[in-house]
Amino acid sequence: MRSISNIFKKNPKINFATLRQQFHQITNFHEKTAFLSSNYQLIYNYLSGFSIDNSTVEYTKNYLNDALIRFFNTLSLLPEIKTHSKLLEIGSNPYLQTILLQKLFSYDITQTNFFDYDVYNSQVKKFSQTITNSSLHESYKFDSILYNLEVIPHPIKDNSFDIILFSEVLEHLVVNPLKIFSEFQRILKKSGYLLITTPNAARLTNIATLLKGENIFDLYHPENGIFGRHNREFTLKELEFILSLNNFKIVFANTYDRYDYDQIDIFSVGYHGLKKIDYKKSDLIHKIKQINGNTNNIGDNLYILCQKV
């Protein structure tokens, strides 16, 4: 039998029409993620050939190694609503998830980004970037609105969107990120959905890192400004509470790992560099249970789908 990589070399373009059809025939979240994961290498090979303006394919590959499983979980949670529903994708750059959104759904997508170093910048601009896969001769230009989420109100009309995708952005905000949830209420249409993904402050890898006396906090990234690091992470319970205070009804809430930590090593990241943490997931969970510790909702990322009420 030929390997997937060999099949891919002879058929470099994925049949996304078939992939999309099969994906939407599945209704269960776990079965959807399993289906996308079964096509992991094909999707990875396709996306890893893209590079964004002034970036490299190597950057894309490193990003995908960290993010692709998260993409699969996120896409599998998006609600099946009417064709050409309006979706606001907050923090679209580097557009790899955006490409999958376009390939697998029929949403009318609006992108937003913000790259400024000034946390109080209130300017609103239009911005374009191009992402290209030279080997496949594919190129996509993405036009986005540049604005600071923490400047209220947002430059978006009331009741404009059916879905807001707020993926891996919350942890980067600085001043008072909790104000944005009332803005999301304003922007969403009646019964609209908000899908949030963000790193889990109570993830098992953080527990393992602390047990070894290492630092769980992000490094400073002066080249990216204050928004370039994780400024505050959340637990599932507290984010559910914040959403309920802002009149959102929780539809789905859980945590999931990006890797199998019985098979993949855990590393801490500090100014001394990467340091291997000598714990495996199953051993660590066993130790936590021995002291009556919590082993629920300790996956890498939070995934919450909620609805405006």
pLDDT for the residue 6 = 36
For 36, the 3-state DSSP assignment is helix
Q: What is the pLDDT of residues 234-279, one digit of tens each?
A: 999 999 999 999 999 999 999 999 999 999 999 999 999 999 999 9
Q: How confident is the model at residue 180 (pLDDT cuts 50, 70, 90)?
A: very high
What is the rounded end-to-end Cα distance, in angstroms, of the chain? 52
- Residue 84 Ramachandran class (φ > 0 left, ψ -120 to 50 alpha, else beta): left
The residues near 243 (Cβ < 8 Å, ≥ 6 apart) are 181, 194, 250, 304, 306
The three-class DSSP label of residue 267 is strand
Residue 188 pLDDT exceeds 80: yes
Amino acid 192: pLDDT: 97
**Which residue matches tokens 């955006």?**
98
Helical segments of the chain, H only? 4-10, 16-24, 29-38, 40-47, 57-77, 96-104, 180-187, 204-211, 236-245, 281-290
State residue 12's pLDDT score.
Answer: 52
* Structure tokens that stand for 185 in this block: 């209420």
SS3 of residue 14 by DSSP:
coil
Q: Going from the N-terminus, what domains does the chain have, and what CATH number goes with each?
A: 80-308 (3.40.50.150)
CA distance 105 to 78: 9
pLDDT digit string, tens, across residues 45-59: 999 999 999 899 999
125-130 own/partner pairs: CB under 8 Å, 24+ apart? 129/52, 129/53, 129/93, 129/95, 130/52, 130/53
Average pLDDT over residues 64-93: 94
Work out the mean pLDDT of the chain and round it to a whole number.
93
Is 185:192 a contact under the CB 8 Å cutoff? no
Q: Are strands 138-146 and 108-113 parallel, antiparallel or unpaired?
A: parallel
**Contact in structure between 105 and 162 (CB atoms under 8 Å):** no
Q: Are 175 and 119 in contact (CB under 8 A)?
A: yes
Higher pLDDT, 222 or 307: 307
143 by Cβ neighbours in 10 Å (0-12 / 13-18 / 19+) ranks as: exposed
Q: Which residues contact 40 (CB under 8 A, 6 or more apart)?
A: 68, 69, 72
CA dist., res. 202 & res. 216, Å (int):
10
Instruction: Kindly report which listed range (65-69, 78-82, 102-106, 215-219) carries the lowest average pLDDT score.
Output: 78-82
pTM: 0.94
Is pLDDT at 4 greater than 70 in this prediction? Answer: no
Among residues 186, 196, 208, which one has the least CA distance to residue 253? Answer: 196
Residues 37, 40: Cα–Cα separation, whole Å: 5
Residue of 280, 171, 173, 175 whose CA lies nearest to 217: 171
For 68, other C-beta atoms within 10 Å of its C-beta total 20
User: What does the alpha-carbon distance between residue 146 and residue 127 come to, in Å, rounded to a whole number?
Assistant: 6
Q: Coil, strand or helix: which one is 153?
A: coil
